[in-house]
Amino acid sequence: MNREKDMANYAVVFFVVISALLLLFPSTRVAQTVRIISSYSLYPSLHYGEKYDYFIRNVPQNFLNILKVDQENRTLTAMIKELEISNKTAESAMEENRRLTLEMGLSRNIQLKGVWARVVNKNPQDWYGAFFINKGSRAGITLNSTVVGFENGQVGLAGRVFEVYPDFSKVLLITNGVSSVICSLPGANFEGLAEGRGTWLLKVNYIPEGSDIAEGMELVTSPGGLLFPQGLPVGRVQKVHPKESFMNFITADVSPAITINALKEVYIVKKDLPPDLQGAVAK
Amino acid sequence: MGIIGDILIYILTGLVHWWWTANLSVFGVSPNIVFSAALSAAIIARPAKAISYCFLFGIYLDLLGSNLFGAYALTYTLMAYGIYMMKRHLDLIGPFSQIIAALALTVVTMLFYQGLSLALAKINPLQLKAFLVEPFLNAIAVPIMFYFFVQLKRRFNLL
């Protein structure tokens, strides 16, 4: 026990003396450099604030320069990452700007008064049925307003406003299963009813047998329809089905004039219907 | 195993301390793993070895820091000797006594280190948040570290 106690006493005296020597005598050039190497390897930072001068005392300048270069390298690497993110954001903004410029130009050409709105919410379970836009009654949007979309310089009918709230509205798309649009071929003397089927294609019914309709023809909204302004492109005929023996009209598949599920902005046309007709439409 | 095992414990403790402070600090505060290891080693090991361990753990903290070189070494050496003296009068094997010892000794060592830095280099290293929080974190860490060290001593006859 006494031997153990002696050993403890010797050890503490020895190590206290060593510690005191390390404390009292300024660190040598080599010792201080080794210290900074080990410290910097584990915590690569030279930002010690007011302690910085004390920390780097006795360390050769060329060695400190290496550490500073490493610090600069880390800062620049972080900056490059930030710039890459900024670059991507700028590219996205430029693309949006290009698209909006094109769409604004087109909207001036269609001679219809209205407001722009962003598509803010789509329901994955009703992808071709409806979506929400960020404008509502506060922006002057009314029930059954026509919704128009733009794509690659092409304007096309997207749907109509189905529900109106103060700050947003729900749009019923022409591809919705309950949606229908009276349409016609420009210059032709017949009309058909384009009905949504819940997919990306429309089906046009009630085309009289013998009508001059063929694949690739463009259908537009008919003047006979109450809801939509006339002449808006609805879609292009993709396939004409032959007449069935039990029917007295022919049908056709029509692909919408614009890609409905890729719309980001839409133009809501303000159409002032006569009060009597508004009641009829609401029913 | 002897000396190699001791070196491995030293390196491993240093690595854990470095990893924890670099990755798991919350608002810049984390338990002082090296302190916990030094305190546990001081309780378990024989006095001379315990003092050597604590001195070397202190040197490791001095190497990492930017303040006085040797201040932690002196502080932990004296702490090891203090624990050696306490062990003769108190039972430090139980977790409760270790928690109390960790709470008290963290505060004492921080104040001692603060005093040394102010006296010899006029540097104020103490952060208030560390002073307020670290004793409690160390109080949690010490019994866990002690358990690990006891297992090492039982299985490999280290420390």
Per-residue pLDDT band at A48 (split at 50, 70, 90): low
Interface contact B123-A12, CB threshold 8 A: no
Per-residue pLDDT band at B1 (split at 50, 70, 90): low
Interatomic CA distance for residues A37 and A30, integer angstroms: 11
Among chain B, residues having any CB pair with chain A shorter than 8 Å are 18, 22, 46-48, 51-52, 55, 58, 62-71, 73-74, 77-78, 80-81, 84, 116, 120-121, 123, 125
In tens, the pLDDT along A71-80 reads 889 899 999 9
Work out the average pLDDT over A216-228: 84
In tens, the pLDDT along B67-121 reads 788 899 999 999 999 999 988 888 888 899 999 999 999 999 999 999 998 888 8
The answer to whether residue A274 scores a pLDDT higher than 80 is no
Which residues belong to CATH 2.40.10.340 in chain A? Answer: 112-282
The answer to whether residue A252 scores a pLDDT higher than 80 is yes
The answer to whether residue A119 scores a pLDDT higher than 80 is yes
Interatomic CA distance for residues A46 and A74, integer angstroms: 12
Place of tokens 């006095």: B47
Beta bridge partners of A156: A149
* pLDDT reported for residue B54: 95
ipTM: 0.89
Burial of B108-131, coded b for 16+ CB within 10 Å and e otherwise, reads ebbebbbebbeeebebebeeeebe
| A22, A46, A52, best to mutate vs chain B, most B CBs in 10 Å | A22
Task: Write out chain A residues lying below 8 Å of B20, CB-based.
Answer: none
Q: Which residues, including other chains, have CB under 8 Å from residue A128's CB and lie 6 or more apart?
A: A173, A175, A176, A196, A198, A199, A200, A260, A261
In tens, the pLDDT along A136-163 reads 988 888 888 999 998 877 889 999 998 9
Q: What is the DSSP string of chain A?
A: -HHHHHHHHHHHHHHHHHHHHHHHSPPPHHHHHHHHHHHHHHS-----GGGHHHHTTT--HHHHHHHHHHHHHHHHHHHHHHHHHHHHHHHHHHHHHHHHHHHHHHHHHTT--EEEEEEEEE-GGGTTTEEEES--GGGT--TT-EEEEEETTEEEEEEEEEEE-SS-EEEEETTSTT-EEEEE-TT-S-EEEEEE-SSS-EEEEEEETT----TTPEEEE-TT-SSS-TT-EEEEEEEEEPPPTT-SEEEEEEEESS-GGG-SEEEEE-----HHHHHHHH-
Work out the average pLDDT over B49-76: 90
CATH class of A112-282: mainly beta
CB nearest to A4's CB, from B18, B47, B62: B47
Work out the average pLDDT over A15-26: 86
In tens, the pLDDT along A49-61 reads 566 777 777 778 8
Interface contact B69-A27, CB threshold 8 A: yes
Interface contact B52-A54, CB threshold 8 A: no
The mean of the pLDDT values for chain B is 90
Task: Write out chain A residues lying below 8 Å of B58, CB-based.
Answer: 19
* pLDDT reported for residue A23: 84
The answer to whether residue A279 scores a pLDDT higher than 80 is no
* pLDDT reported for residue A1: 60
The mean of the pLDDT values for chain A is 83
CA distance B122 to chain A (A): 10
Sequence ranges of the domains in chain B: 2-156
Task: Write out chain A residues lying below 8 Å of B77, CB-based.
Answer: 12, 15-16, 19
Per-residue pLDDT band at B64 (split at 50, 70, 90): confident
Interface contact B70-A10, CB threshold 8 A: no
Work out the average pLDDT over A75-88: 93
Q: Which residues, including other chains, have CB under 8 Å from residue B2's CB and lie 6 or more apart?
A: B158
Interface contact B51-A12, CB threshold 8 A: yes
* pLDDT reported for residue A159: 93
Interface contact A43-B22, CB threshold 8 A: yes
* pLDDT reported for residue B22: 83
% of residues, chain B, pLDDT over 90:
58
pTM over 0.90, yes/no: no
Comparison of pLDDT for A5 and A17, the residue scoring more: A17
Task: Write out chain A residues lying below 8 Å of B67, CB-based.
Answer: 51, 54
The answer to whether residue A281 scores a pLDDT higher than 60 is no
CA distance B67 to chain A (A): 7
Contacts 24+ apart (CB under 8 A), B117-121: B117/B67, B117/B68, B117/B71, B120/A23, B120/A24, B120/B68, B120/B71, B121/A54, B121/B67, B121/B68
Interface contact A11-B51, CB threshold 8 A: yes
Interface contact B46-A4, CB threshold 8 A: yes
Say if residues A184 and A252 touch (Cβ distance below 8 Å). no
* pLDDT reported for residue B101: 93
CA distance A67 to chain B (A): 15
* pLDDT reported for residue A8: 87
| B77, B84, B109, B126, best to mutate vs chain A, most A CBs in 10 Å | B77
Per-residue pLDDT band at A277 (split at 50, 70, 90): low
Interface contact A12-B22, CB threshold 8 A: no
Work out the average pLDDT over A223-244: 84
Interface contact B52-A11, CB threshold 8 A: yes
* pLDDT reported for residue B104: 95
CA distance A69 to chain B (A): 20
Interface contact A35-B58, CB threshold 8 A: no
